[in-house]
Amino acid sequence: MVFKRGQILGPLLQTGKLRDEAFGRFWIECTAPQPEAEAATPPQKTSADLIPPVLAHASGTVLDIGPGTGTQMPLLRSPAIKAIFGAEPCLGLHADLRACAEKEGLSDKYNILPCSVVASELLPALAKEGVIPAGTDSVDQLAGKEVFDSIICVRVLCSVPNPEKTIRELYSMLKPGGKMLVTEHVVNPWRTTKGSILARFMQGLYQLLGWSWFVGDCCLTRDTESMLKKAADADGGWEIFNLESSFGRSPLSYISGVLIKKSA
């Protein structure tokens, strides 16, 4: 679009927009249905296999962070889910996301928020939907009237800005007893028997070669598990903190599981 509008200096003056559009197109390609491969060997386990058992816990009012094109939407058809708010800042993905909600029969439940998950954007978007009072400009104002029963974090905490603060704010918006549903790639746990020093080295190398710049601000080396754990420190920790490590030989090593906030 930057080129189509004939802005000859667009690529130099609007690099943010250009990267946003490029990422949108890249992600639509990545998530397009693939032709069935011939079944000579049994399919290997992939990160996608980690997601269904985690999202099976979604219920009530749900915040879906960075839903992309809605790849996970078929997993969100449970009648236990009352409403879903998908915070997706890449506007180029909204048409696919909307089409996906229609296809899955979730148009009435799925609300697309054109914003990042950072509080300064998310709170006004939620207020506009009538989910929180107008004029709420800090998550602290939601104490005692938290909003979400479930927050879905699938392959997105690698990209959010200021992750420690953002995760703490997300935690604050979770109701007592609410669930954080996590499937995220993280820094390789190379110091443990589950990790690999070579994979950790490759993560560093990819970062140096510009991974974050090319892949929508994605960072390969975030210690998301520590940040999630820390988010509940003020409440004396989570009721349940259950994260499994997977793919420890790969630069895309994962954590996945369900975290439950203490009941009041």
Contact residues for ligand SAM, defined by CB under 6 A:
27, 65-68, 71-72, 87-90, 93, 116-118, 154-156, 159-161, 216
- Residue 115 CB, shortest distance to ligand SAM, in Å, is 7
* Amino acid symbol at 69: T
Tokens of 45: 């386990």
DSSP strand pairing (174-186 vs 110-113): unpaired
Summary count for the chain: helices (H), strands (E): 9, 7
Q: Which residue is nearest to ligand SAM (CB)?
A: 66
Which residue's CB is nearer to ligand SAM, number 161 or number 176? 161
Q: What is the 3-state secondary structure (H, E, C) of 159-176?
A: CCCCHHHHHHHHHHHEEE
Is the Cα torsion angle 258, 218, 202, 33 positive or negative in sign?
A: positive
Cα distances from 206 to residues 30, 192, 240, in angstroms, run 19, 21, 34
Radius of gyration, alpha carbons of the chain? 19
Which residue's CB is nearer to ligand SAM, number 66 or number 189? 66
The total number of residues written for the chain in this structure = 264
The label of the residue with tokens 């397009």 reads: 32
Which residue's CB is nearer to ligand SAM, number 154 or number 260? 154
- Residue 154 CB, shortest distance to ligand SAM, in Å, is 4
- Residue 160 CB, shortest distance to ligand SAM, in Å, is 4
SS3 content of the chain, % helix, strand, coil (to 5): 40, 20, 45
- Residue 155 CB, shortest distance to ligand SAM, in Å, is 4
Which residue's CB is nearer to ligand SAM, number 156 or number 182? 156
Which residue's CB is nearer to ligand SAM, number 47 or number 136? 47
Tell me which DSSP letter residue 183 carries.
E
Which residue's CB is nearer to ligand SAM, number 83 or number 177? 83
- The answer to whether residues 22 and 34 touch, using CB atoms and an 8 Å cutoff, is no
Which residue's CB is nearer to ligand SAM, number 156 or number 199? 156
- Residue 112 CB, shortest distance to ligand SAM, in Å, is 12
Which residue's CB is nearer to ligand SAM, number 72 or number 188? 72
- Residue 66 CB, shortest distance to ligand SAM, in Å, is 2
Residue of 218, 246, 244, 241 whose CA lies nearest to 156: 218
Tokens of 121: 């954007």
- Residue 193 CB, shortest distance to ligand SAM, in Å, is 28
| 3-state secondary structure (DSSP) of residue 28 | helix
- Residue 163 CB, shortest distance to ligand SAM, in Å, is 9
